[in-house]
Amino acid sequence: MFEPIRDDLRQVEREFARHVQSQIAVIPAIGTYVQDSGGKRIRPAVLLMAARMAGYAGDPSTGSGSSRAESRDERAVLYASVIEFIHTATLVHDDIIDEAELRRGRDAVHTRWGNHLTVLFGDFLYLKSMSLALTQDNLEIIRLLCDVTLRIVEGEIYQLTKNGVVELSEDEHLDIVRRKTAYLFAGCAKIGGMLGEVTCEQQDALWDYGLNIGMAFQIVDDLLDFTGEEGALGKPVGGDLREGKMTLPVIHLLGRGDAKAETLVRAIMHARHVTLDQWREVRALLGHARSIDYAYSTAVEFVERAKQALRACPPGAERDALMFLPDYVLSRDR
């Protein structure tokens, strides 16, 4: 799907490793650990492919290695690196807040280095992202990056105020998803367009494309908490309920007025623990209410909106790749 930008994605990896260096040895140590844990790099890939589709292309004659991303011809790689810094910062902070011990099948950063160092490392990444963005002269993109980052933090705060609230509505939940996940996808797609030569209307279409992909991505991610295998996910299943988070399948289930389901969900969220029998019962209730199907169909709706928005952009191999991404989001199992 993203074969045309494989080299650019490798360059993003190199830029991340280069800019996470510091005279404080623990900072690059944590950075290397995070980078080695893998990840799909979907967000940087969206930015890079959107830039290609918009007519932007780096000049291979501008050099190689670390100097390459600093040239104006390699701004896409630099901004994709900024996105990776922002996304990584949100992950390390989220894991502390959620008290998650694992990330992608390995110890979470705070499990190895403690909460204090991990909070500061996340702060370092946020500030590094803005420092990198400021090496360019495009204030419009910098303003967009700042706005997206603020919305992510607002989403995290909003979610914390709703932690353990069983009465959370679907609209409230989707607002959290929009802030915490979808806006960053939207920013990636629009920045790609801003680097190229598409119209303002097409830039807005790219924003809508990314926003809807982000919504679908998070809904599917929440579904995997009920349908995925622990080995594939790299984290224990059932984590959302144990952490006090209401997600779309559970909101739909309780919306049907099932007193037994509500009692069970309240008990799990209050105890912050779920037994195997309780988990099997939750799964059975979700299946009986077709709540998994409902959440998946909602993700499909967002995917179709993403595809419709992308049709406003120039046709070609790059648009075809971006058009395939929503289907990948729906089919992912980790």
Task: Give the CATH number for residue 57.
Answer: 1.10.600.10
Nearest to 153 by CA among 108, 209, 236, 94: 94
How many structural domains comprise the chain?
1
Q: Please report the DSSP string for 212-258 in residue order.
A: HHHHHHHHHHHHHHHHS-HHHHTS-TTHHHHTT---HHHHHHHHTT-
Exposed, middle or buried, 21 (CB in 10 Å: 0-12/13-18/19+)? exposed
Q: What percent of the chain has pLDDT over 90?
A: 82
Average pLDDT of the chain is 91
Q: Which of 21-30, 167-176, 232-241 has the lowest mean pLDDT?
A: 232-241
pLDDT for 64 equals 42
pLDDT for 230 equals 57
User: What are the pLDDT digits (tens) for 183-192?
Assistant: 999 999 999 9
Task: Please give the Cα distance from 70 to 33 (Å, whole number).
Answer: 25
pLDDT for 223 equals 95
List 102's β-bridge partners, or say none. Answer: 107
Residue 277: alpha-carbon gap to chain centroid: 32
Q: What is the pTM of this model?
A: 0.92
Residue 60 clears pLDDT 50, i.e. is over it:
no
Structural domain boundaries, residue 57 = 3-331
**Predicted confidence band of residue 333 (pLDDT cuts 50, 70, 90):** confident
User: What are the pLDDT digits (tens) for 286-323?
Assistant: 999 999 999 999 999 999 999 999 999 999 999 999 99
Nearest to 8 by CA among 84, 78, 82, 85: 78
